[in-house]
Amino acid sequence: MAAAAVPTTNGSATRRARWTYSDRILSRPGAYVDEEDGFVPGEAPITSVENARILVIGAGGLGCEILKNLALSGFKKIDVIDMDTIDVSNLNRQFLFREKDVGQPKATVAANFVMKRVPGCTITPYVGKIQDKDQDYYLQFNIVVCGLDSIEARRWINATLVDLVDMENPDSLKPLIDGGTEGFKGQSRVIFPTMTSCIECQLDMHAPRAAVPLCTLASIPRQPQHCIEWAHIIKWEEERKDVTLDTDDPEHITWLYKKALARAQEYNISGVTYSMTQGVVKNIIPAIASTNAIIAASCCNEAYKIATTCAPCIGMPGQNNYMLYTGDTSVYTYTFEHQKKDDCPVCGNLPKDLVVNPTSTLGDLVESFAERPESQLKKPNLRSEGKSLYYSSPASLMAQTKGNLVKPLNELLSDGEEIAVTDPAFSTVFKYRVHFS
Amino acid sequence: MLKIWSMKKEQQKSEVAAGSNKKKVTSAQLRVQKDLNELSLPDTISTHFPNPDDILNFVLTLTPDEGFYKGGVFTFTFAISVNFPHEPPKVTCNEKIYHPNIDLNGNVCLNILRQDWMPVLDLNAVIVGIQFLFLEPNAGDWLNKEAADDMKGDRERFYRNVRSAMAGGTVKGETFKRVLKAKPGEKA
Ligand SMILES: [Zn+2]
């Protein structure tokens, strides 16, 4: 019977030779899943892995690991986004890159390397920002895996995937798997947008970047990093105010390095180097290859389980969704359920539908808020994404926006647009999606 | 994935529909809007929004009515990133000022704008902090060493130098622009 489970369709019988052993997981009943969970051992889960479209965001330290793991797990349709080019300092851990690749885009080089090593796997690179892509682009994928070092980018993709969820379309729900590392520490988490705690709900898990007091930089530098920050924050402003600092421009880094070095000598501080300057200015977080490997492995196993249902994944509603790994004081790992926040600005508070007469005025709407039982607003501030509609505080904005009160709504808003209403009397934000009657 | 969708449909019964291609108010905008709701500005402080639709960028005007800087008009540019409140607002003073905690380029040394920033802090806290720097300059944590030394050495002399800088004079080789508020009937 085992032979029957090895598919021979789509070409040669050796098509899945590389995955003979992992296919056994998919072609035998699972210990913790059954048909009720949607797991039917055999061809179906194998096809799921082959056909799943996976988006990998980031082709750096984590991204290299993630792309390699996904391809070797049998995923065949992968896209990767990264805006960076390869720097010589990446080569120690970003193992898909070689010295000859320095200066080339990470996404392209990583895709080509993995495709060469794993025939049959197609990786489509995009060199650019995640913000370049629209909702239709993200709708193509089944699972999104992030290996990013930026909180801003995480928040953006999180909000985008929450927005994407459309009750008419089951495929609009994209599981988001997020990995992150910092030195010996890391985390992997699974998010089902709108259903479970999202990245915005979990923002308190990221400590704000540690900063040195400005006056320490100006008055008593004690470490080489202080001299670099001084050159970066104070000296650049002073001497090159009209030039926008480009942290990828070697001339700019050299300038900062020289200023920092001179200051360090003045205060008898040693240790300022060009690469330290680059690290401090670009806020490069120390990365350890094996921490990346641990976290990426966990992210990719979750992707595999989600795509195939062969074993329970983390992140299901009411279950653990966050795996924390700490290797800096011995080894500790802990998996827990980070709770969804009811007042999360991204997923907690979905807009209520509000039907309005398009020719009624904004003033009418504000008045109706004062009467609505759930709001009863006294000093509201109202805006859409692009427009400050009416602000009762501060005084200057009130003066600038009160003219809108007499305007008809269809002059200020478009049908279906979202507005956010706040009031000092309420800690929550009221969101409405305005529909014209 | 089928199972998760059936759970989603179950959950959705108690909620209102999500999903739309329209742009949503961003979380930074939401938070700033909330903070603006809760601002309580004294008569000596006002705001100006060059583009009223962009609440992430504004100018704060401070006209102290007591202390060393009484009678001066100082403006601060607030630039709030999309990462607010994870990141503090960036605040710079637009006028050249003789102040121990503000350098000649307008950088402001205020703990909560940097090392002590926490997302629970709001714009009111930042504005109160700036106001405090004008009532009680802190010669210990200096950005302008000459002003700090001056203040530590002789408060009377420091006061005279502050006044002369505000009047558009030259202090220790640095020439300042006049920032004194025009009195009623006086030419600005
Ligand atoms: Zn959330």
Residue A269: closest CA among A281, A260, A278: A260
Tell me whether residues B145 and A219 touch, CB distance under 8 A.
yes
The confidence band for B13, taking pLDDT boundaries of 50, 70 and 90, is low
Mutate: best of A192, A197, A215, A384, partner B, most B CBs <10 A = A215
Tokens 């992992």 found at = A22
Residue A287: closest CA among A206, A153, A189, A179: A179
Across B55-69, average pLDDT: 96
CA-to-CA separations, A79 to A59, A111, A146, B160, in angstroms, rounded: 11, 8, 12, 66
Q: Domains of chain B, with CATH numbers?
A: 23-175 (3.10.110.10)
**Gap between the Cα atoms of B130 and B128, Å rounded:** 5
**pLDDT tens sequence across B169-186:** 999 999 999 999 877 665
| B141/B71: higher pLDDT | B71
Give chain B's mean pLDDT. 89
In B, residues 4-63, which contact A (CB 8 Å cutoff)? 4-5, 7-9, 11-12, 15-27, 29-31, 33-34, 36-39, 41, 46-49, 52-53, 55
Residue A149: closest CA among A106, A125, A178: A178
Among the ranges given (A267-276, A389-398, B1-10, B135-144), the one the predictor scored with the smallest mean pLDDT: B1-10
Contacts of B53 in chain A (CB under 8 A): 386-388
Contacts of B4 in chain A (CB under 8 A): 173, 175, 192, 195, 316
Compute the radius of gyration of chain B from its Cα atoms. Answer: 22
Size of interface A-B (CB pairs under 8 A): 201
Task: For residue B59, list its beta bridge partners.
Answer: B48, B77
A306 three-class SS:
helix
Tell me whether residues A213 and B114 touch, CB distance under 8 A.
yes
Predicted pLDDT at A208: 67
pLDDT > 70 fraction of chain B, expressed in percent and rounded: 90
Please give the CATH architecture assigned to the domain spanning A352-436.
Answer: Roll (3.10)
Per the structure block, which two tokens stand in for A270?
Answer: 């040693």
Of B33, B86, B141, the CB nearest to A151: B86
Q: B76 near B130, Cβ under 8 Å?
A: yes
A333 three-class SS:
strand
DSSP helix, strand, coil percent of chain A (3-state; round to 5): 40, 20, 40
Q: Which residues of B are tagged catalytic?
A: 109
Tell me whether residues B109 and A433 touch, CB distance under 8 A.
no
pTM, entire model: 0.72
Residue B3: pLDDT over 80 = no
The confidence band for B85, taking pLDDT boundaries of 50, 70 and 90, is confident
What is the distance in A from the centroid of ligand 1 to the CA of A199? 6
What is the distance in A from the centroid of ligand 1 to the CA of A423? 21
Please, what sign has the CA dihedral across residues A138, A412, A400, A419?
negative
Domain ranges of chain A: 52-206+286-336, 214-282, 352-436
Predicted pLDDT at A385: 92
Mean pLDDT by runs of 10 across the 437 residues of chain A is 45 72 92 87 93 97 97 97 92 94 97 96 97 92 94 90 86 95 95 94 77 82 92 90 88 96 94 92 84 97 96 94 94 95 80 91 89 72 95 95 95 93 84 91
Of A306, A388, A400, the CB nearest to B1: A306
**Gap between the Cα atoms of B177 and B188, Å rounded:** 13
**Gap between the Cα atoms of A12 and A4, Å rounded:** 15
**pLDDT tens sequence across B40-61:** 899 999 999 999 999 999 999 9
Residue B106: pLDDT over 90 = yes
Q: A80 near A124, Cβ under 8 Å?
A: yes
- Check if A350 contacts B (Cβ < 8 Å): yes
Residue ranges near ligand 1 (ion) with Cβ within 5 Å: A 198, 200-201, 344, 346-347
The confidence band for B8, taking pLDDT boundaries of 50, 70 and 90, is confident
Contacts of A307 in chain B (CB under 8 A): 1
Amino acid at A287: A
What is the distance in A from the centroid of ligand 1 to the CA of B86? 15
Contacts of B44 in chain A (CB under 8 A): none
Q: What are phi and psi of A26, to 5 degrees?
A: -90, -15
* CB-neighbour burial class of residue A141 (10 A; exposed 0-12, middle 13-18, buried 19+): buried
Cα dihedral A99→A100→A102→A106 (10° resolution):
-100
In B, residues 97-126, which contact A (CB 8 Å cutoff)? 101, 103-105, 107-109, 111, 113-115, 117-119
Predicted pLDDT at B12: 65
Indicate the fold that domain A52-206+286-336 takes in CATH.
Rossmann fold (3.40.50)
Q: What are phi and psi of B175, to 5 degrees?
A: -95, 135
Residue A122: closest CA among A79, A63, A171: A79
Q: Tell me, what DSSP letter sits at residue B57?
A: E
CATH class given for the domain over A214-282: mainly alpha
Cα dihedral A24→A69→A56→A178 (10° resolution):
90
Q: Tell me, what DSSP letter sits at residue A200?
A: T
